[in-house]
Amino acid sequence: MDPIQPVAPPLTGRVILTQEWQRVSILHWRVPSDEIAHFYPPGTRPDEFDGSSWVGLLAFRMARFRIVPGPALPYIGDFPEINVRLYTVDDDGRRGILFRSLEASRVLTVLGARTVMNVPYQWARMSLHRDDDVLDYRSTRLTGTRPSSRIVVRPSSSVVVDDPLADFLTARWGMHTLIRGRTRFVPNDHEPWPLRRAELVSLDDELVAAAGIYVDGPPPSVLYSPGVHARFAVPHPPVASRLD
């Protein structure tokens, strides 16, 4: 397996979306691969670091969402988001992300993402507040069992440098998703993450459990980034699963 690339490779294919991720708090727990493998689409498997898989809970503000070549969408493209994600590697060696859920407060964005890319966005009531140096993210899903989350984080001034785990968790240049029943890889790029250590002030989360993943105790990795500007290209051809 090739090492993680902290700098994005050249983006292949036509750019279809751009967006900014701002004030990003990044929490991670270890999780055994055999407990999550059944979530993965054909042709992919859990990617591992230090002998285990990881599940992420990321909270941030989405901004300047743009469908290329159109302008930025000021309302439906600007909202807080919290997502639960796993880490993939496919039979072609491409590393990516598998989203288990993404909470967003814009119902049109939720419907569009679910319809076009089959990404599991969920409609939620959300907020993001900053009080001095503390960020407070809150979400309550408006459908189903209505799981909620509150994440309170204090970023530090300690810059993350030469950290293989941080690279593994954040330097992901695509996502895997099922589109019309076939596993597709959707590539993206952005500048290298400007990462800092962060203190988890408090956490009251139901989203990871609602995604069918069990974690215990505080997350061993808590990071923060002021954000990046991301671009997404057209999905690659279907993954060639060894089961085909």
Residue 17 has pLDDT above 60, yes or no: yes
> pTM for this structure?
0.94
**Is the omega angle on the peptide bond into residue 187 within 30 degrees of 0, that is, cis?**
no
Residue 240's pLDDT is what? 63
Tokens of 228: 């990046």
Q: What is the mean pLDDT of residues 73-93?
A: 88
Tokens of 144: 């189903």
DSSP character at residue 194: -
- Which residues, 6+ apart, have CB-to-CB distance to 181 below 8 Å? none
Confidence of residue 238 (pLDDT cuts 50, 70, 90): confident
Query: Percent of the chain beyond pLDDT 70?
Result: 93
- Which residues, 6+ apart, have CB-to-CB distance to 156 below 8 Å? 196, 197, 198, 199, 224
- Quick one: 88 exposed, middle or buried, by C-beta within 10 A (0-12, 13-18, 19+)? buried
| Cβ neighbours around 29 below 10 Å, total | 20
Confidence of residue 243 (pLDDT cuts 50, 70, 90): very low
Query: Domains, the chain, ranges and CATH?
Result: 15-233 (2.40.400.10)
User: What's the distance, CA 81 to chain centroid?
Assistant: 10
